[in-house]
Amino acid sequence: MSVLSQLNVIRVSGLTKRVSTLEGSLTILSDINFSVKSGESVAIVGASGSGKSTLLSLLAGLDVASQGDVHLDGEALSKLDEEARARVRAEKIGFVFQSFMLVQSLTALENVMLPAELAGDHDARAQAIELLEKVGLSHRLEHYPSQLSGGEQQRVAIARAFIGSPKILFADEPSANLDSKNGHLIENLLFDLNKQNGTTLVLVTHDEQLAKQCQRILHIEGGQLEKISEGVTANVG
Tell which one of 4, 14, 33, 49 touches ligand ATP (CB under 6 A). Answer: 49
Helix, strand, coil percent values for the chain (each to nearest 5)? 40, 30, 35
Is position 30 an interface residue for ligand ATP (rule: CB under 6 A)?
no
Is position 196 an interface residue for ligand ATP (rule: CB under 6 A)?
no
Q: Which of 57, 194 has the CB closer to ligand ATP?
A: 57
Shortest spacing between CB 49 and ligand ATP, in angstroms: 4
Is position 50 an interface residue for ligand ATP (rule: CB under 6 A)?
yes
Shortest spacing between CB 109 and Mg ion, in angstroms: 28
Torsion of CA 61, 63, 66, 67, to 10 degrees: -20
Shortest spacing between CB 144 and Mg ion, in angstroms: 25
H or E stretch covering 204? strand 200-204
14 binds, among Mg ion, ligand ATP, none (CB under 5 to 8 A by kind): none
Rg of the chain over Cα atoms, rounded to whole angstroms, equals: 17
Shortest spacing between CB 52 and Mg ion, in angstroms: 5
The C-alpha atoms of residue 214 and residue 104 are separated, in whole angstroms, by 33
H or E stretch covering 31? strand 24-37
Q: Which of 5, 67 has the CB closer to ligand ATP?
A: 67
Is position 28 an interface residue for ligand ATP (rule: CB under 6 A)?
yes
Nearest one of 63, 55, 53 to 12, comparing CA atoms: 55
The C-alpha atoms of residue 164 and residue 197 are separated, in whole angstroms, by 11
Is position 221 an interface residue for ligand ATP (rule: CB under 6 A)?
no
Q: Which of 26, 101 has the CB closer to ligand ATP?
A: 26
Q: Which of 51, 231 has the CB closer to ligand ATP?
A: 51
Residue 103, C-beta contacts closer than 8 angstroms, at least 6 positions apart = 110, 111, 114, 145
Is position 19 an interface residue for ligand ATP (rule: CB under 6 A)?
yes
| Segment 83 to 112, residues that bind ligand ATP, using CB under 6 A | 98
The C-alpha atoms of residue 127 and residue 134 are separated, in whole angstroms, by 11
H or E stretch covering 117? helix 108-118
Residues lying near Mg ion in the complex (CB under 5 A) are found at 53, 98
Q: Which stretch, 48-56, 108-116, 149-157, 174-182, contacts ligand ATP (CB under 6 A)?
A: 48-56
Name the strands in the sheet holding 8-21, side by side, starting at the edge strand that comes first in the sequence: 24-37, 8-21, 67-72, 75-76
In the complex, which residues of this chain contact ligand ATP (CB under 6 A)? Answer: 19, 21, 26, 28, 46, 48-54, 98
